[in-house]
Copies of this chain bind each other. A is one copy, B any other.
Amino acid sequence: ILSKRIVVLPGDGIGPEVCSEAVRVLRAVSSRFGHEFTFDYQLMGACAIDATGSPLPEATLQACRQADAVLLGAIGDPKYDNDPTAKVRPEQGLLGLRKALGLYANIRPITAYDQLLAHSPLKAERIQGTDILIFRELTGGIYFGEKGRSEDRASAYDHCTYHRDEILRIAHRAFKAAETRRHKVTLVDKANVLETSRLWRETVQSIAPEYPSVALDYLFVDNAAMQIILNPKQFDVILTENMFGDIISDEASVIAGSLGLLPSASVGDGAALFEPIHGSYPQAKGKGIANPIATILSAAMLLDHFHLQEEADCVRDAVQHALDQGVVTPELNPTTLYTTEQVGNFIAYSV
């Protein structure tokens, strides 16, 4: 019997709906396998601003620090997006949490599901068999550098910095993952222009000999943005810095045919956070049309993190079963009428 405390941050928009389904699936796993999972719901994002004035209340941070894992829905609200002068933003909650928990590696698997090839904007023969694992650095770079305005507010700046140690820790993780996969790491950078990219390249180069079975290659980010679409099957593990990883991983998501399928794990030395890569999708809120699979697969990565391999595979099999049976939300099949909850229920019962 395993006993684990999971903090749930439903967040904004469709976050609460998709989180409910992932929790339902985790409860099904715990009852089938006899574990004890407790779920502690906390506020983060726009809902936390509305309730407390802060996007990351102290109580939330404390709970996450003491948790065995954090499951996040999504955060963000359009009312903050088009006001460039807003002082408090939902995103600060997420960025603050990543930094506070030291979640320096964001890991995003990109898979082309055979059942969904028709949904991708890419031709099936280009993407069939794609299996990419993206390692995005998550607590450094331009996201967390000094930023500000000149006194007259007419110029703005954002500083990007990286230290060798920040690169080493995630690079080792990427190489280790490649050792268990197809033995290739592609570093995405802009070393022909940026000094931070040159530091990335030289640092990653320096440890490559420790992983003799892994081939290392490099792509400039502009070229990578093309190659991911032109020939995604060439990639195994992609390693990159924070800003490039944000762009490249969302771009790569088109391969899967729906953002609603893609999970992620953000890990550090201790705690770990699991979240779908989609956003809060406010237009869909409360309509029962949000796809819960990305969050459910994030819950499977959470089980991996607990070393519950059988349990995690069981969740992934249940998701495959739902795809096979066509039990999916309308963006994947507009003619069926399954709701978020029905899809979640189906997967939970199949566990």
| Residues of A participating in the B interface, judged by any CB pair closer than 8 Å | 76, 80-82, 84-85, 89, 91, 95, 121-123, 126, 142-143, 145, 147-149, 154-165, 190-196, 198-199, 201-202, 205, 218, 221-223, 225-226, 229-231, 243-244, 246-251, 253-254, 259, 279
In the complex, chain B residues whose CB is within 8 Å of the CB of A84: 191, 198-199, 201-202, 205
In the complex, chain B residues whose CB is within 8 Å of the CB of A91: 192-193
19 contacting pairs across A/B (C-beta < 8 A): A81-B218, A82-B218, A84-B201, A85-B198, A121-B230, A142-B160, A147-B194, A149-B199, A154-B163, A155-B161, A155-B163, A155-B164, A156-B196, A157-B195, A158-B194, A225-B225, A229-B229, A243-B243, A247-B247
In the complex, chain B residues whose CB is within 8 Å of the CB of A162: 155-157
Tell which of B81, B149, B161, B229 touches A157, judged by Cβ atoms closer than 8 Å.
B161
Q: How far is the CB of A235 from chain B (nearest CB, A)?
A: 14
The CA-CA distance from A218 to B126 in the complex, in Å, is: 30
In the complex, chain B residues whose CB is within 8 Å of the CB of A164: 154-155
The CA-CA distance from A240 to B42 in the complex, in Å, is: 37
Do the beta carbons of A226 and B199 come within 8 Å of each other? Answer: no
Residue of A126, A243, A246 with highest tally of chain B CB at under 10 A: A243
Stoichiometry, as copies per complex, reads 2
Q: A191-B84, A247-B222 are in contact. Are A156 and B123 (CB under 8 A)?
A: no
Residue of A95, A148, A195, A230 with highest tally of chain B CB at under 10 A: A195
Q: A157-B160, A158-B160 are in contact. Are A225 and B247 (CB under 8 A)?
A: yes
Q: How far is the CB of A228 from chain B (nearest CB, A)?
A: 8
Q: How far is the CB of A125 from chain B (nearest CB, A)?
A: 9
Nearest CB in chain B to that of A199: its residue: B156
The CA-CA distance from A231 to B226 in the complex, in Å, is: 16
The CA-CA distance from A193 to B279 in the complex, in Å, is: 15
Tell which of B123, B193, B244 touches A122, judged by Cβ atoms closer than 8 Å.
B123
In the complex, chain B residues whose CB is within 8 Å of the CB of A142: 142, 160, 193-194
* Given A142-B193, A223-B250, 4 other A-B residues pairs in contact with their CB atoms under 8 A: A142-B142, A157-B160, A157-B162, A222-B251
Q: How far is the CB of A313 from chain B (nearest CB, A)?
A: 29
